[in-house]
Amino acid sequence: MTPCPVRELTEALIRRRSVFPEDAGCQSVIAARLAPLGFECEPMRFGEVDNLWAVRRGAKPGPLLVFAGHTDVVPAGPRQWWHADPFEPTERDGHLYGRGAADMKSSLAAIVVAIEEFVAAHPNHPGSIGVLLTSDEEGPAIDGTVRVVEALQARGTQIDYCIIGEPTSVDALGDMLKNGRRGSLHGKLIVKGVQGHVAYPHLARNPIHDLAPALVALVAEQWDSGNAYFPATTWQVSNLNAGTGAGNVIPGEATVNFNFRFSTASTIEGLQSRVKAILDAHGLDYSLEWTVSGHPFLTERGALTDAIAQAIRAETGVETELSTTGGTSDGRFIAAIAREVIEFGPHNGSIHKTNEHVALASLVPMKNIYRGTLERLLK
């Protein structure tokens, strides 16, 4: 069997138990591959999180193209739910199984090998190639990419193109790219009442009863209509709690946790003010706390989307679709210093599940797509 460098590196990374916030040496493995190519490798540790910033400066001026990703993975869960040890890569029915196989150690391996091949073929390429890695993507994302971006921003670093190796493919490799993500805004609403006996409601005030009409209004509200790239903003209750647990006590307060997934058609300030207006209109006695976990970002069609779409078409014959669906990603941080940000990677059907896997037949094509994008942008 002919050795496959992408598979070999993917397997080496899967064997490292890099459950958030542990990197478990993955970034050192990658840095050891990049340094001989002329990359300046700079480990950046913040708190308990390992990050890596590596850059290779070309022979001539040109754009800075950065590949970004994360080496941490989510917990594997009970061993008995897996076909085999989740941290021992296993081949089964044409797929490579292991935690992180799809999210996102195979794409990291494909990126590294693509860079190696590109530099060997074009040692005097124009522009620069960067690699940004974190072990804080699957966790709270406090000491990871956001901190690296802040450090680069302080240096005046500007990224022209960024490709994040997130698993984006649905049915065929390359059938979907993420050219943006919705923002995420959390709210914690506490509606205050007066606790009392259920037999004497006139001596109490039930916050659930007060809340109910306002909740109906919030559910019915049309926050926006979206735009050409984003679906309409959504509002969802994630938790609702009230009561002492006793069946004869009117609760003294009710707590509602909710979330907005919002597009560039809305603003944080606008959504906050509209929620407050609805609550005030219903005469509630309340407190409200807000947490922003991500701003929306969008890359419109341009040089990066065209280059990667052409590379996908040349390798697979697939016409890719641009999408902004799904959760948040570290693209929300990188967009602060990057002109264009795209996510592309393997099939996402098994991510975060037991028996996570990646199709072995997709590894080399994925590498070729990353390399093809380099060929088109650094020329």
Catalytic residue positions, numbered:
72, 137
The whole-angstrom separation of Cα 97 and Cα 31 is 24
SS3 category, 155: helix
- 214: number of CA atoms within 13 Å, CB side? 24
Contacts of 269 (CB under 8 A, 6+ apart): none
Q: What count of Cα atoms within 13 Å lies in the side-chain half-sphere of residue 119?
A: 21
Residue with tokens 């016409």: 319
Is the distance from CB of 147 to CB of 39 less than 8 angstroms? no
Q: How many CB atoms within 10 Å of residue 28?
A: 15
Smallest CA-to-CA distance from 219 within 260, 170, 158 is with: 260
Residue 63 backbone phi and psi in degrees, to 5? -70, 160
- Going by C-alpha positions, the residue among 139, 168, 164 that lies closest to residue 149 is 164
Q: Is 212 left (phi over 0), alpha (psi -120 to 50) or beta?
A: alpha
For residue 5, say if its preceding peptide bond is cis, omega within 30 degrees of 0. Answer: no
